[in-house]
Amino acid sequence: MAVLVNKPAPDFTATAVVNKDFQDISLSNYRGKKNVLLFFYPLDFTFVCPTELHAFQEKLSQFKAKNTEVLGVSIDSKFSHLAWLKTPKDEGGIEGVSYPVLSDIHKTIARDYDVLHEDGIALRATFLIDKKGVVRHQTVNDLPLGRNIDEYLRLIDALTFNEKHGEVCPANWTEGQKAMRPDQSGLKDYFSGH
């Protein structure tokens, strides 16, 4: 599996379903404007997947407040996405999801991000792409392992803090906590509580 961190995110243009309408979405449209949280999921109408799509929706206002666009991607067709978006949550659907859900029917995006499972579906992969179009974080989960959405919000806070202040964020750092200078004296100050 390729490590894309610190590399330009592979660009793409794909058809997405947004508010039950089809739109072409290009990753490059966000460059210079917003961070992008790009996540891949295996298939529509499955079991762990709708829990994740709804979990991203529940936190969508927080992502937007952090100037981050959320984009979901699977290998399903735009028509499958539309049908799933019209299916109520209590029936396993994703009705109410308002961020773009992209169709990667030809599997080119999953291949470019190197997250295509041997079964021909995407693994549960997530990429945090900064405003310059550079991948700053990637995680890949096996199919049965759902994501923790709060961790991506924390990582966006850490990225923003680092970009603004030049300091680095230690383990378990959350917004408002002490960070440190990226040098030996910064580490000593951090551990000594100064």
Per DSSP, the three-state class of 28 is: helix
Which residues are annotated as catalytic?
49
- For 38-67, give the DSSP string: EEE-S-TT-SHHHHHHHHHHHTHHHHHHTT
Alpha carbon distance 114, 4 (integer Å) = 9
Structure tokens at 26: 């290009």
The pairing of beta strand 35-40 with beta strand 68-74: parallel
Alpha carbon distance 8, 130 (integer Å) = 10
H or E element in which residue 18 lies: strand 13-18
The dihedral through the CA atoms of 83, 112, 141, 31 has a sign that is: negative
